[in-house]
Amino acid sequence: DVQLVESGGGSAQAGGSLRLSCAASGYAVSTGCIGWFRQAPGKEREGVARVYSGGDYTGVADSVKGRFTISQDNAKNTVYLQMNSLKPEDTAMYYCAARWGLCRGDSPSAFTFWGQGTQVTVS
Q: What's the rounded Cα separation, in Å, for the pair 123 and 101?
A: 37
Q: What's the rounded Cα separation, in Å, for the pair 105 and 41?
A: 23
Contacts of 80 (CB under 8 A, 6+ apart): 19, 20, 21, 22, 70, 71, 72, 73
Give residue 54's pLDDT: 63
Give residue 105's pLDDT: 84
Give residue 55's pLDDT: 65
SS3 content of the chain, % helix, strand, coil (to 5): 5, 50, 40
Could you read off the pLDDT tens digit of each residue along the chain, which spans 123 residues?
999 999 999 999 999 999 999 999 999 999 899 999 999 999 999 999 999 976 688 999 999 999 999 999 999 999 999 999 999 999 999 999 999 988 888 899 999 999 999 999 999
Give residue 96's pLDDT: 98
Q: What's the rounded Cα separation, in Å, for the pair 12 and 85?
A: 10
The DSSP code for 123 is: -
